[in-house]
Amino acid sequence: MDKIQKVFIAGGTGFLGYAAAELFLERGVKVDSIALAGEFDSLSFVDKRMGLVVGNLFEMSDEQLYQLFKDKNYDAIVYALGPDDRVTPKAPAYEFFYERLVNKCYNILNAAKKAGAKKAVILSSYFAHFDKLLSGKLSKKHAYIRARREQQNKCFGLSDDRFKVCALELPYIFGVQEGRKPIWKDSFLSYFDGFKSVYFPSGGATAIIDRTGVAEAIYACTINGEGKTAYPIATDNISYKEMLKLMLLGLNDNRKVVTIPGALCALGTYSMLKKHKKEGKESGLYYPSLMNGILNKEFTIDAKKSMDALGFEALNLTGGKDARQSIKDTMKALV
């Protein structure tokens, strides 16, 4: 698939979907998407070349989805919808994530396939990549990761010679989107409010990327991605301690980052579990195992491997903005 003329991005006005839309438009590809009725007043930043309709993909029937894609001649569909692991739904969490990440994704991609699309790119999580490396150890404890694995397994079942389905397994993502404030304050930094220092499990490291790098990966995967293949994507690897230092620097926050054993951090999460249980909620990530099985481990990615596989150089793609600088820029946007 060396030529694309038109794509549909599910989630095309969001943090990652719109970054991809901008790149597609820049390279002469037509882009359509859909937005909730209540969103339109906040979408003044959207490029006028992008085709937008009002609707809710999660509420559409299979027939309505088919009619949305019918006769549109989409070369590809990009699935850039959540929810991700920051959402804490009503218990049981697995049912919530399975319905939205597995069933809804499958139904939308299946409708696009029936309407004649040739390629689908799913935005997934790097947790799925490491779960495979760890023989399913993570998905046994974390509902969100289990749903991400099953999202790939079920949707890859749609892949054949005329409709290729592939996935991008994404790490921590930074960057600033015009018209919207970064969500890092509420979803991550708020856990450290009220502490004189920032406490975090010792020994951990993660892969990182800027949203522009994700956009490039989406573009490359749409052209060169192979069916039934998941590509772990990143542009850099960093220790959590260094990442937190850069975040605090961008916020002009002088607190120190103090690392402690993951097992001790895990003990401190049981109060959160009790609070969620009382509220009838459940996180997609089981906090004790998150502290002492993920955040204290090295979840790093060989950035060059997937870039080479997706033909970045031939497509004149560089991996997007520098991810470390993006951390500081993202935090500055919160000040």
* 192 is a domain residue: yes
Position 280 scores a pLDDT of 98
Nearest to 212 by CA among 46, 18, 30, 34: 18
What CATH number corresponds to the domain at position 11? 3.40.50.720
DSSP 81: -
- How many structural domains comprise the chain? 1
Position 179 scores a pLDDT of 74
Residue 301, classed as helix, strand or coil, is coil
Position 178 scores a pLDDT of 80
Cis peptide before 83 (omega within 30 of 0): yes
For 206-227, the DSSP string reads: EEEEEHHHHHHHHHHHHHHPPT
Angle at 78 between CA 60 and CA 165, to 5 degrees: 100
Residue 49, classed as helix, strand or coil, is coil
Task: State pLDDT tens for residues 265-275.
Answer: 999 999 999 99
* 232 is a domain residue: yes
Domain that residue 179 falls in: 6-332
Position 180 scores a pLDDT of 77
Position 1 scores a pLDDT of 47
Rounded Cα distance between 136 and 276, Å, is 26
* 104 is a domain residue: yes
Instruction: At 178, list the tokens.
Output: 């015009």
* 296 is a domain residue: yes
Q: Is the pTM of this model over 0.75?
A: yes
* 1 is a domain residue: no
Task: State pLDDT tens for residues 110-130.
Answer: 999 999 999 999 999 999 999
Position 189 scores a pLDDT of 82
Return per-residue pLDDT of the chain as tens, 335 residues.
458 999 999 999 999 999 999 999 999 999 999 998 877 777 888 899 999 999 999 999 999 999 999 999 999 999 999 999 999 999 999 999 999 999 999 999 999 999 999 999 999 999 999 999 999 999 999 999 999 999 999 999 999 999 999 999 999 999 998 877 888 877 788 888 889 999 999 999 999 999 999 999 999 999 999 999 999 999 999 999 999 999 999 999 999 999 999 999 999 999 999 999 999 999 999 999 999 999 999 999 999 999 999 999 999 999 999 999 999 999 999 87
Instruction: At 283, list the tokens.
Output: 């996180």
- Give the type of residue at 45: F
- Give the type of residue at 219: Y
Rounded Cα distance between 137 and 286, Å, is 13
